[in-house]
Amino acid sequence: MAQTSNRFLDEMSRLMNDAAGVAEGVRREVSTLVQSQMERVLRDMDVVTREEHEAVKDMAAKAREENERLAARLAEVEKKLPK
């Protein structure tokens, strides 16, 4: 009797392990599908990447610094002009 019970429990344990493995595989598959769909949606929305955003942000900062430098230079030139 004990041997039959152990075999039954062993089979149930093996079945549960297999089910957990299948569930994990399904989870990975769904995760991959969702990720690829989200990437496609974002690509279709023409959203900029972080790298592109950072590059434009750096360009804007440099342009702002150049503008401030030129404004200071213009102020100096205007001071030298006769009134």
Residue bearing the bigger pLDDT, 49 or 75 = 75
pLDDT (0 to 100) of residue 63 = 98
Assign 3-class secondary structure to the chain: CHHHHHHHHHHHHHHHHHHHHHHHHHHHHHHHHHHHHHHHHHHHCCCCCHHHHHHHHHHHHHHHHHHHHHHHHHHHHHHHCCC
Mean pLDDT for the stretch of residues 10-35: 92
pTM, full prediction: 0.47
**Domain ranges within the chain, ordered by starting residue:** 2-80
Q: Does the pLDDT value for residue 2 go beyond 70?
A: no
